[in-house]
Amino acid sequence: MSSRIKFLKEAVKNIKTLGTVTPSSRFLSKRMLREIKFSNADVIVELGPGSGAITKYILENLSPNSILICFEINDNFYQQLQELQHPQLIILKASAEKIVDELKKLQIDRVDYIISSLPLAIIPDKISNEILIKSFEVLSENGSFIQYQYSLSYFKKLKNVFKESISLEFEPLNIPPAFIYRCKKVV
Ligand SMILES: C[S@@+](CC[C@H](N)C(=O)[O-])C[C@H]1O[C@@H](n2cnc3c(N)ncnc32)[C@H](O)[C@@H]1O
């Protein structure tokens, strides 16, 4: 079964946690990663990797001593990601709001980049706020939280946490077209 069909099957069962019916295009995936300085990124976290549309590009660019830690709650995607079998990849079957606790277990207290494709706009407010606050907390100074969304409805909530340090881009070559928020931790 192709990975697109597998994704669609998961979306039909779990639309409230996926928020879309198709994985990110290569255009969106690459644009998400465009400003990452991989040579300075020791720890990268991905929230909601799904079937690995963006994950595979992160792994392609990862420096030899860096690691990628993924948080995914969907059982079938978690199994699919295990098949990537990359020595620098750690896949956690854990929800994104547990980011601080889960990283502590791995003895990690700072991350350089958080790449998120979580459907924040449909995650309950209390949880999505917690995800943003804990992501901010664990980012290193000048680290970035990079998020795509299909609308601008979440901009205000990102601003509440990251203040004015947010830049916005648009990627038309995706179904649906998507906005990319690059949120920098400035302290
Ligand atoms: C829109 S899909 C993105 C999949 C993939 N990254 C892509 O861009 O094609 C959102 C993903 O977030 C996952 N997800 C939703 N809520 C989550 C949470 N609280 N913690 C971790 N993953 C979550 C879903 O299971 C799904 O795989």
Q: Report the CATH number at residue 93.
A: 3.40.50.150
* Tens-place pLDDT, residues 128-152: 999 999 999 999 999 999 999 999 9
180 within 8 A of 147, measured Cβ to Cβ: yes
Task: Quote the domain boundaries for residue 95.
Answer: 3-31+40-184
- pLDDT tops 90 at residue 18: no
- In whole angstroms, how far apart are CA 117 and each of 25, 52, 180? 12, 11, 10
Interaxial angle between packed helices 75-82 and 3-13, expressed in degrees from 0 to 180 and rounded to the nearest 10: 160
- In whole angstroms, how far apart are CA 187 and each of 51, 72, 116, 123? 34, 29, 21, 27
- pLDDT tops 80 at residue 1: no
28, with CB counted inside 10 A (0-12, 13-18, 19+), is buried
Taken in order 158, 101, 115, 75, the sign of the CA dihedral is negative
What residues contact 27, with CB distance under 8 A and at least 6 apart? 171, 173, 174
Q: Is 73 in the pocket of ligand 1 (CB under 6 A)?
A: yes
* Tens-place pLDDT, residues 164-183: 899 999 999 999 999 999 99
What does pTM read for this prediction? 0.96
Looking at the 3D structure of the chain, how many domains does it have? 1
Q: What is the pLDDT of residue 16?
A: 77
Residue closest via CA to ligand 1's atom 15 equals 17
Q: Is 135 in the pocket of ligand 1 (CB under 6 A)?
A: no
Question: Phi first, then psi: what are they for 153, rounded to 5°?
Answer: -65, -20
Q: What is the pLDDT of residue 20?
A: 84
* Tens-place pLDDT, residues 19-70: 887 999 999 999 999 999 999 999 999 999 999 999 999 999 999 999 999 9
| Amino acid at the residue 54 | I
- pLDDT tops 90 at residue 90: yes
Q: What is the pLDDT of residue 142?
A: 94
